[in-house]
Structure 1
């Protein structure tokens, strides 16, 4: 009898131990699965950003190179593809949201923010189009890399970004890499533009870079303080509203400037033909929106700084493609600018690595 009780007690203990082990295993596997899914999503968004950023810039420059002259049309190409986001939003309906009440509760604040960011986005898109008109693609992309520094600068005030020695080094190098191109005579001669037009292009590109950094930082503020715990669908909705506002503003600019009247003759005289004209602009609009999805996804999964860091990874891509497609000259100042920009980017990435490592060690010590 005692032997039976002992066997029963041992069996009960083994059963309880197995149940506890199973619970621990399941609880640990769930976070691992979520972690893998998160990194898979980040990888996809990174691919979108790296490829579509370069494609969109190259296609916009291709429009100018073959007889296109409308800066408003190039501006319109950037936000007008937002119906693609609606399609993407439709297929992400499986994502359950439990924040609808809170979302509508902050509708006034969120709506005002989206309108302001949409207006700011249209202005940034226009001045970047002007910059691309007067500058070679390689020069434009190298100057635009300073966006990483502007994002860090605005994130310092808006998102409590700390200025460590590595961040300061990154900002300094990115500033110098852009400053090297101010008096680049070879780039100016290659485009057959005057000194004034070249400086206008440079200033507009710097302004667009700063504005893009500001928008990324403001979007992160809205996501964290207004939406607080948003779903990815909510983030995409926010981008759709901003793109809609930007599209309306740019369309008004296109008609008010009178450039809409010249589009018919522009299509007729386009060097690559009418079909190529439409395909060129449509492809630029498509790639621009896929890039937007990638940027929004990286902001949602990580931060605006990380999103902008990934954008900077594509820095060497555009100049190399520009040399092949447009025969842009890669002179000594551009090469040195690329080296400094990559150095600044690596410095920034290393600081991001240190922050992640510190966060992981703090999490481990708490557990």
Structure 2
């Protein structure tokens, strides 16, 4: 009898051990699958934002140049359309607000930003954006679009500095190499004469300085946006991206309207409309689609800042460098001389250098999330950049 009881006890112990091992195996399998699903969802969102940024930026830049080439001359109007397209995003925001509760990763109302804090943030970013857009408008007016787009690559170097100071961005040899190459690429264009734009050398210098200044200011705004989203607002939904675009754009648009009337440029808009070389309908459609393109680009930029970092968003924006100069040669007959070709090659080289660094970081992040013994199996977005 005792032997029989001992055998029964042993069988029970063995069955418990088998169940425990099976349960442990199932838990490990679940831990391995969840990061993979989250990883692919994250890449889908990032890919969508990249598409928005590249298509919107390329289209908006070319349409902005077309406005000037075909008879437009108002810097404030060119600045106005960079922010005035925000109403097209309002229905999307309303949809998200109706389907979810607002914006906060922490449901404690005491930890949400106050209304006064939000108003100050939106006012600051709106006025800042209006100033940056005005400088970009001057640059696009006085420079060939190919030169303009390549000079804009300097914003990556500026953004790297601001990301290091404000967002704790880590530097590697590949990132440093990328920044140096992109900076040299833009510096080569500083010695280019302004003949291809048919403007004086003085205006060419103004256009160059405004574009570099706008790039620096825009980079600062990107780093501040990342800091605001992750440290001040502490929000984890797409609603945040839309709100950080819509409300500052409203403020920037109001500032542009004030500038348009204060400068007296509103008086010339009637003659621009009537004498536009491509016709009145084309004039309206140019402004409309420029406004839409900038909004699409901005949503893509903010989405990448939210999902990854401001430096990564800036790097992706440089992907348009090979496309915009080539399209400018095709549509606007810009000259692609030896200096621009060298600058373009250096810009592409710098971009690929950074992308390779991101690839190495991503491989490292995936290998870390595949470890079954980690307490946190979520895909670490910050560690991937």
CA offset at residue 33 of structure 1? 1.9
What's the CA shift for 1:242?
1.1
2:153–2:183 CA contact under 8 A, matched in 1: no
Which residue is equivalent to 1:124?
A: 132
Answer yes or no: is 1:329 the counterpart of 2:352. Answer: no
User: Which residue of the partner structure matches residue 162 of structure 1?
Assistant: 170
Task: Check if 1:242 corresponds to 2:258.
Answer: no
TM-aligned CA distance change 1:191 to 1:105, over 3 Å:
closer
Cα distance in 1, alignment partners of residues 169 and 40 from structure 2: 27
Say whether residues 1:350 and 2:376 are aligned partners. no
The one of 77, 80, 92 equivalent to 2:81 is 77
1:55 corresponds to which of 31, 35, 59: 59
Would the alpha carbon gap of residues 22 and 172 (structure 1) be closer, same or farther in structure 2, given more than 3 Å must change? closer
1:308 aligns with 2:308: no
CA-CA distance at 1:112 after TM superposition:
1.8
Work out the CA distance in 2 between the residues paired with 1:9 and 1:263. Answer: 88
Render the CA deviation track for 1:234-286: whole Å, top value 9, x for unaligned.
23212222111111101110111111122111111011111111111111111
Distance 1:143 1:238 in 2: 26
Q: 1:195 & 1:138 partners in 2: Cα distance? A: 17
Q: 1:88 aligns with which of 92, 99, 105?
A: 92
Per the TM alignment, residue 21 of structure 1 is displaced from its structure 2 partner at its CA by 4.1
Matched residues in 2 for 1:102 and 1:340: separation? 50
Aligned mates of 1:168, 1:51 — CA distance in 2: 27
Q: Give the corresponding residue for 1:65.
A: 69
Which deviations, in whole Å up to 9, do the C-alpha atoms of 1:110-153 show, x marking residues without a partner? 43232112111100000100100010100000001111111101
SS at match of 1:181: helix
Instruction: Evaluate the alpha carbon distance shift between residue 105 and residue 163 of structure 1 in structure 2; reply closer, same or farther with a 3 A threshold.
Output: closer
Q: Residues of 2 paired with 1:31 and 1:354: CA distance?
A: 18
Residue ranges of structure 2 left out of the alignment (5+ in a row): 375-385
Please tell me whether the aligned partners of residues 106 and 226 of structure 1 are also in contact (alpha carbons under 8 angstroms): no
Deviation at 1:106, TM superposition (A): 3.9
My pick for the range that moved more, 80-89 or 15-24, is: 15-24
CA 1:102–1:309: 2 relative to 1, 3 Å: farther
Moved more, 37-46 or 171-180: 171-180
Alignment check: 8 A CA contact 2:35 2:370 kept: no
2:40 matched residue in structure 1: 36
Instruction: State the secondary structure of the residue aligned to 1:271.
Output: coil
Contact 1:151 1:305 in 2 (8 A): yes
TM norm structure 1:
0.91
Partner of 2:143: 135
Could you tell me which residue of structure 1 aligns to residue 382 of structure 2? Answer: none
Per mean C-alpha deviation after superposition, the further-off stretch among 299-308 and 24-33 is 24-33
Distance 1:23 1:253 in 2: 62
Name the CA shift for 1:295/1:274 in 2 (closer, same or farther; >3 Å).
Answer: same
The question of 1:283 aligning with 2:289 is answered yes
Aligned partner of residue 298 in structure 1, secondary structure: helix
Does structure 2 retain, via aligned residues, the 8 Å contact 1:85–1:293?
Answer: no
1:185-334 alignment, distance < 5 Å: 185=193, 188-334=194-340
Cα pair 1:103 1:227 within 8 Å, conserved: no
Question: Hey, what's the Cα distance between the residues in 2 that align with 1:318 and 1:173?
Answer: 19
8 Å Cα contact 2:84/2:249 also seen in 1? yes
CA contact (8 A) 1:152 1:305 kept: yes
Across the aligned residues of Structure 1 and Structure 2, the Cα RMSD in angstroms comes to: 2.4
Q: Is the 8 A contact 2:35 2:369 kept in 1?
A: no
Q: Structure 1: give runs of 5+ residues left out of the alignment.
A: none
Offset of 1:35 from its aligned partner? 1.5
